[in-house]
Amino acid sequence: MKKITNYKTIFTILFITIAFSLTACNESPSEIAESSNKILVGLDDSLPPMGFRSTSNELQGFDIDMAAEIGKKLNKEFIFTPYNWDGILLGLQSKKFDVIISALSVTSEREKEIGFTLPYLMEKQVIVTSKNSAINSPEDLKGKVVGIQMGSTSYNALIPVKSTLKEVKEYKNNMDAINDLGTGRLEAVVIDELVARYYLKDHGSKYRIADKELTKEPVAIGVRKEDTTL
């Protein structure tokens, strides 16, 4: 009887422990973020001036500074996790991080998958070409080879004229596309205006931005739909 009682006691303790463990596992991400002093951020770390690496490999940029200021107000620390841009929404949904702070444009397609805060910027998709190019509008891309970043809204911006293009080449990041523009493998790159203008500060002698943009897009912080508290 003593052995049976001990077994019952052990079983009860194990049952309670498992129950509490399952409760913790079922805690919503927003509750976890609310109780923690850290928020994990997914971002593209090759997106100047929003988020990029310094010469000493430190993260810097507008989004990094903005997150730091938000952190002061929330009394939380933002921990940045660089992630491939073409999979960043899936990374958020699979809980690799809690939010996306990386010049993320709000689109109807993305709103089907994730939630957004109020926008903090209004962005444009523009065309970058070589200095002497005759391209000045989306219509001038007819028959041209155009580069874009994989998973970016640059692809959506091109849809109205895509059927007229010779080819659309996708790149892991915008800088790779710009480099191919410089070597003549591309005739234009469709890119966020902020990124383009930052890059052209130092390379304005080689490239320029076409007169007419393709689209205007609000930029916001991305969150999982269920994380209403966060």
Which pLDDT value is given to residue 35? 58
Instruction: Quick: pLDDT tens for 167-222.
Output: 999 999 999 999 999 999 999 999 999 999 998 998 888 999 999 999 999 999 99
Instruction: Quick: pLDDT tens for 11-56.
Output: 444 333 333 333 333 444 445 455 579 999 999 999 999 999 999 9
Residue 66: pLDDT above 90? yes
Residue 8: pLDDT above 60? no
Bond from prior residue into 49 cis (ω within 30 degrees of 0)? yes
Which pLDDT value is given to residue 34? 55
For the entire predicted model, the pTM comes to: 0.74
Q: How far is CA 156 from CA 137, 152, 215, in A?
A: 16, 8, 9
| Out of 75-84, 107-116, 198-207, least confident range | 198-207
* CATH architecture of structural domain 29-121+219-223: 3-Layer(aba) Sandwich (3.40)
Which pLDDT value is given to residue 230? 85
Classify domain 122-217 at the CATH superfamily level: Periplasmic binding protein-like II (3.40.190.10)
Which pLDDT value is given to residue 21? 38
Q: Which residue has the tokens 């303790």?
A: 13
Residue 137: pLDDT above 80? yes
pLDDT band, residue 70 (cuts 50/70/90): very high
The closest alpha carbon to 103, from 89, 91, 119, 87, belongs to: 119
Q: Where are the domains of the chain?
A: 29-121+219-223, 122-217
CA distance 151 to 102: 13
Domains 29-121+219-223 and 122-217 share a fold: yes
For residues 221 and 128, the answer to whether their CB atoms sit within 8 Å is no
